[in-house]
Amino acid sequence: MTDAWQGRTRDVPRRGGAVVLARGRMLLIRYAPEDGHKYFIPGGGVEPGEAPSLTAERELAEETGLTATAERELAVVRNSDRVEHYYLMRLGDPHCAEQRAVPGDLSPGQQLEWVDVALLPNTPVWPKRLAWRITEWSTNGWPDRPVQLDDSIRDLHAPCDW
């Protein structure tokens, strides 16, 4: 079957990502490649037969020790080699999340970090076109349906508001 929006087949790799907010901050995974530190949203590859929302829940637990429910799909981000689904997560107790998040299934050099939501537009986080929208949405309301984004931005240090 073909994805009409991009003309690609649906068997491209997919990822489920978990947008976790607590007390005005967002949980990200920080890593340090040669060109300086960068961030990405917790998540991982969708397993055969698994819904991307369940992937987001599973990967969040594996990477951070937090359990949460995918509340709503915020965005579908397409880039050259995969399709990524991002979900706003509902934590049981968001006031304790910062103390309970512990690094789990992370690669060497990766660490968990809570970043002020207001700083996301200028934070080097992938996907760049989603990051600034989270700041906007957390203030003005979440989208009724997932936004569709193409994102191939590789310079994550440059501000983005489009």
Summarised one tens digit per residue, pLDDT across range 13-47 is 899 999 999 989 999 999 876 667 889 999 999 99
**Residue 23 covered by a domain:** yes
pTM: 0.84
**Residue 132 covered by a domain:** yes
**Residue 61 covered by a domain:** yes
Q: Which residues contact 55 (CB under 8 A, 6 or more apart)?
A: 14, 15, 16, 43, 44, 45, 46, 47, 85
**Residue 156 covered by a domain:** no
Domain that holds residue 63: 2-150
pLDDT of the residue at 133? 94
Q: What is the pLDDT along the chain (162 residues), one digit of tens a residue?
A: 334 444 444 566 899 999 999 989 999 999 876 667 889 999 999 999 999 999 999 999 999 989 999 999 999 999 878 899 999 999 876 666 565 777 777 777 888 999 999 999 989 998 888 988 999 999 999 999 999 998 766 655 666 555
**Residue 160 covered by a domain:** no
